[in-house]
Structure 1
């Protein structure tokens, strides 16, 4: 069998999410917790305008979830600790030699390198749980990886980051060749394009150590969306310029140089928290493509949010772009792409 991860632009059967539960990620204060519940709910409702949504909900949060989500969001009750479905859940793949067959890659999830603060052992079961609920064949992997650590074009190109898959806290014995071989087996990768690092904030105590889905995306084969921090007062100004220079030398699985489309960052530089002095990693790259649409991150900046919608409408022609305020999600370590996982549709 030959597994392949389709591009996010392929038709979806549904989107999977996990509902927040009380713990360090959600927040200590009641107001913080309510803001987190509301942010995840807003994303679910936005996605449900385009395609079905199933939410994995811890039994202790079931009553709240049903009240907030409403009847049009499906609920699957199961234990939850971390609620970033992109990372703890499966990566769905298809087998082009067997039409109608769906696969679910079950990466090992250890809470982004098993930091002392993370509670991840319950959600580490979500790959198998969600895969089974979707009726997918299990594609078991011994690689510690998260869905936010990869981006694909559906035609053999995979973006990854050296500080994620090669992180000794994740895969102490891995090298590029081993990771690339596993991506070939599980994702159909023919070419892995390695980024040397991610955004600055992503390396603080609560970061992922460089997830690519906040930095770059592949809206279509040969086209690469890149986070563009234009303010020299932000350390990511130097980071994104270096990443652009690096990616200009790279080619995809078909041997094409990338057409790089810059996606400017919002104007806000700091949020007043974080070990790195509070420089934000707010990024419009962290969007979700859905059936006939795109769910984009918003940051309360009408001009920047509107400019991002225009770029996304251009690189995803024919899709309606809607913006959901993502500040409360980013305050907890990620964005809209990080809390969602698409299940591709397969022919019957």
Structure 2
């Protein structure tokens, strides 16, 4: 078997999400909880305007999900304790030697390094649940990893971060070679581009310790969209300058130097918790569209839409307010997971 993770821009069969449930992540106050439910629902409806969407729902939230999501979104019931589908759900792969066969990588999920606050044991079962539901071949992995910790171009390149895959709370015995070998086996990567770190806020108690999907992404082979913090008052000003300089010295799997396109951060520097990690990089590509994070800044949101529209020609860019999602530890990309559309099997009619 030769598994390969397609680029996010490849055609999708559908997108998967998980509906919020009560707990620490959602919030302790009623208004906080309602804000969280509404944010996940808004993303779901935005995605469903472009392609089918299936929502995994904890039994305790089924009635609410039916009421808020309506009949256009498929609901499937499974126990949940977290709702970041990108991270605990399967990473879908294809086998180019067996058209029509779908694979689902089941990374080990331990709640982003098993912090004391995290509840993750139910979520860790969801990759297998989804794989069985769609009839995918399960690709078991020994790597503690999350879908938000990798980005690929579908042609062998993978972006990843030393503080995620080499995190001693995730993979205490791993080194670069072991991680790269496991990614080659599971997602077909042949060339790893390692970032030394992620954005500053992502190292707080409720962060992921450096997920790449708020830092950089590959909209097309040879091109990078890179988060750019332009205000020297923000610690990510230096972080993103250093990352840009490092990436400028690297290539993709084909040996091409990167065409790096800056995706400027919004103007807001802080929220009530500290410096924000608001990032337009954390968008979701869907069939004929892009679901972009919005941050309530008309000028900055519009500028991001222009850059994204140019990066993904022919796709309509739709902005959804992502501030309630970022307040809980991630963005639109973090709560979604695409399932690729398979090529028809040989002889299929």
> TM-score scaled by structure 1?
0.99
**Over residues 299-329 of structure 1, what are the superposed CA-to-partner deviations in whole Å (9 max), with x where a residue is unaligned?**
0000000000000000100000000000000
Deviation at 1:258, TM superposition (A): 0.4
Deviation at 1:134, TM superposition (A): 1.6
The secondary structure found in structure 1 opposite 2:94 is strand
Q: Equivalents in 2 of 1:130, 1:51: separation in Å?
A: 18
**Over residues 68-87 of structure 1, what are the superposed CA-to-partner deviations in whole Å (9 max), with x where a residue is unaligned?**
00000000100000100000
What residue in structure 2 maps to residue 100 of structure 1?
100
Q: Equivalents in 1 of 2:278, 2:265: separation in Å?
A: 7
**Over residues 202-239 of structure 1, what are the superposed CA-to-partner deviations in whole Å (9 max), with x where a residue is unaligned?**
00000000000000000000000000000000000000
Is 1:297 the counterpart of 2:328? The answer is no
Is 1:318 the counterpart of 2:314? The answer is yes
Is 1:211 the counterpart of 2:211? The answer is yes
Q: Equivalents in 1 of 2:132, 2:248: separation in Å?
A: 40
How many matched pairs?
A: 344
Deviation at 1:169, TM superposition (A): 0.1
Deviation at 1:132, TM superposition (A): 1.2
Task: Write out aligned runs for 1:186-201 (5 A).
Answer: 186-201=186-201
Q: Equivalents in 1 of 2:122, 2:168: separation in Å?
A: 22
Q: Equivalents in 1 of 2:108, 2:253: separation in Å?
A: 26
The secondary structure found in structure 1 opposite 2:275 is coil
Task: Write out aligned runs for 1:101-140 (5 A).
Answer: 101-140=101-140
Task: Write out aligned runs for 1:37-186 (5 A).
Answer: 37-186=37-186
Q: Equivalents in 2 of 1:35, 1:218: separation in Å?
A: 31
The secondary structure found in structure 1 opposite 2:86 is helix
The secondary structure found in structure 2 opposite 1:55 is strand
Q: Equivalents in 2 of 1:85, 1:47: separation in Å?
A: 14
Q: Equivalents in 2 of 1:169, 1:130: separation in Å?
A: 26
Show structure 1 runs of 5+ residues with no match. none
Deviation at 1:287, TM superposition (A): 0.1
The alignment yields a C-alpha RMSD, in angstroms, of 0.4
**Over residues 132-159 of structure 1, what are the superposed CA-to-partner deviations in whole Å (9 max), with x where a residue is unaligned?**
1121100000100000000000000000
Q: Equivalents in 1 of 2:38, 2:45: separation in Å?
A: 10
Divergent runs of 4+, >6 A: none
Q: Equivalents in 1 of 2:46, 2:133: separation in Å?
A: 23
What residue in structure 1 maps to residue 347 of structure 2?
none
What residue in structure 2 maps to residue 4 of structure 1?
4
Deviation at 1:193, TM superposition (A): 0.2
**Over residues 254-294 of structure 1, what are the superposed CA-to-partner deviations in whole Å (9 max), with x where a residue is unaligned?**
00100000000000000011xxxx00000000000000000
Task: Write out aligned runs for 1:219-298 (5 A).
Answer: 219-273=219-273, 278-298=274-294
The secondary structure found in structure 2 opposite 1:61 is helix
The secondary structure found in structure 1 opposite 2:270 is coil
Deviation at 1:4, TM superposition (A): 0.2
